[in-house]
Each structure stands twice: as structure tokens, then as C-alpha cells.
Amino acid sequence: MSQTYKEAGVDKEAGYEHVERIKESVKSTQNANVLSHLGGFSGLFELDLDGIEKPVLVSGTDGVGTKVKLAYELDIHNTVGIDCVAMCVNDIICQGAKPLYFLDYLATGHLVPDKTVQIVEGISQGCIQSGVALIGGETAEMPGVYQGDDYDLAGFAVGVVGKKKIITGKDINDYTVLIGIPSTGVHSNGFSLIRHVLRNTDLKAEFGSTGKSVGEVLLTPTKIYVESVLKLIDHIEVLGLAHITGGGLIENVPRMLPEGYQANIDFDALKVPAIFKLIQETGSISKGEMLNTFNMGVGMVIAVDKENVTKALEILAAEGAYEIGIVEKGNQGIIIK
């Protein structure tokens, strides 16, 4: 008897429906630089290099991690796509690059267009927030690898910066001040720990007076810092940037520091969202473990000369940015008091 692909677990018709339903969402992200169309074998993007001296392409790739597990447990799928874009574009702006385009990879055990379309709509929203074009991607139905309609999500972004304007952190010194831009919450890190410590917590219960459930607060998308950071770079000299992802402040801030310098951050100055208190108290997690896992309310750290602090804070006022510490001579990487 002849066998079909559908009998093996792959529904091509659902795939066709998915592509048809995401067309308008993808189109909403595109601009005059996009030369390709959805359904082609690759994405085409025409570079506009006017005013960019010795252009350098900057790329970044990342996923959403086990936050997707929470998304399909709560049946909320329109936020993780924003996370996926954010995790990539927030990385490449740390070198001073302007993001240009994005591609996604969505893999699932069973393609359910009502869910996957929501995911891509989130990706498109993230692209719009970042000013990038969604020029392609892949949706793979992989029964046997993923169970049921479980899915995983990853992405890839490319940006451009003039070679002389690459931010490397080499000019950071002991006259440098660290400014933090607040996160929107947990962002996309530490969810294996979160899911473990909150395994007996009712995620559908209201969280404080937020009007949202605990699960909805946890699924708040990663903040995209592209617009605010590029605006700052246009107005002052930015010496270094650190996107606070896995490893928290402890692992990520030292990555932008030159040899012989360390960051000194005042923990009491940090504006830590209440969701972190719930996680810490429920799991009896130490302060050190929290700092080494989560962003603790700071999603991006910016290093500027002390003479530029006032102007930087004025430019970033709408973001709620504030001073979180200084750089000093030393080899400890980071000290959080």
C-alpha cells in the first residue's frame, strides 16, 4: 500500500496554509532594500552604503531557549517571536551596528497554523520595532524530534557599521560611568530555573496589581534597544555596550571591558522588578545565583565618559536609564556590592 508524507506525520497542506497566512505580516516589515519575495529560495537585500566608510557586516544568532516551553504550556504564542528578534538585534548593536535584516527558523513536531502564525506575527512585530526587514526563514515540521505541537525558535540578524565606528570598549578607562537601561522583566534567560522553582505556582493567578497573570508577566517580550542605542550613538561617544543576557551582569558587563579594568556596580541602586523577588523567594535562590543568571532589571549597560553622563541620561530619559556604577582599575571583572 502506498504511504503518504501526511501518514508519516508531516502535513504539507498545513504548511501551505501557514505560508499563505503570514504573507501580510512578513510584508509589513519590508522596505525598498528587500528585492526578494516570500517563497523564494533565499532572501535578497540591497545594501545602501551611502555615508558608511569601510562598511563592516555584523551578524548575530540566538534563540528563545526554554521560554518557548512556557509559551505553549500557557497557549500564548504572540510574544516569543519578539524575543527571538530582540536577542539577535540587541547583540549586534553592541558593536555600534545598525541592524538591516532578519531570518527565522521555526521547528515543530506538528504544524498548527493558528499557533505558528502568531509566532511569525511576533517576529514581524519585533522586526518593525528594530527597523529591520524579515527577508526569509524556515518552518520545519519534524515529528519524532519534537513531541506533539511543541516548537523551538531561533533567528539570525545582520547589521552594518563603518569600520572606524565599531564599538570595541578599548577606550573604556577609570573615568568611565556605567548607565543601565531597564529591562521589561526576565527577558529570555534563565527559564529552565524559573520553570523549576515555579513548578507548583499557579501561573494563571494574577501577579500583584499588574492586571496580568504570573505567566503573562514572565512572557513579557525582551525589550528591543535598537532605536534608543542608535540615537545615543548619533549624539555622543559611546565607549562600550553590554547586552545583559544569560550570565546576567556578572558575565556580560566584563565582556566589554579592556584588560586591567573592572566594573563596580551598586546593587542597591538597581531597580529590580517584582517578578525577580517572586522567583528568588519561591526558589530560595541566593543573591549571587540571581545575579549570575538574570538581568535583575537591567537589559543593556552603556559605558560613557563621565563628562557625557548628563547628556546620555537626557537622550535616554524616555527609557528610564540611570547610573548603575563606574569602571575602575582592577582585574576582578565586576564587583557588585
- 107-157 pLDDT, tens digit per residue, is 999 999 999 999 999 999 999 999 999 999 999 999 989 999 899 999 999
Average pLDDT over residues 167-175: 97
Pick the CATH number of 176-336 from 3.90.226.10, 3.90.650.10, 1.10.1660.10, 3.40.50.12660: 3.90.650.10
According to the model, what pLDDT value does residue 23 have?
Answer: 83
The CATH fold of domain 12-165: 60s Ribosomal Protein L30; Chain: A; (3.30.1330)
For a pLDDT cut of 70, what percent of the chain falls above it? 98
Give the single-character DSSP code of 153: E
pLDDT band at 8 (very low <50, low <70, confident <90, very high): low
pLDDT at 273 over 90: yes
What residues pair up with 265 in beta bridges, in sequence order?
325, 336
According to the model, what pLDDT value does residue 20 have?
Answer: 83
- 85-113 in b/e form (b: 16+ CB < 10 A) is bbbbbbbbbbbbbbbbbbbbbbbbbbbbb
* Segments making up each domain of the chain, as ranges: 12-165, 176-336
pLDDT at 2 over 60: no
Check: CB of residue 113 under 8 Å from CB of residue 99: no
Question: pTM for the full model?
Answer: 0.95
Average pLDDT over residues 178-182: 98
Between these two residues, 264 and 17, which has the higher pLDDT value? 264
According to the model, what pLDDT value does residue 281 have?
Answer: 97
pLDDT at 1 over 50: no
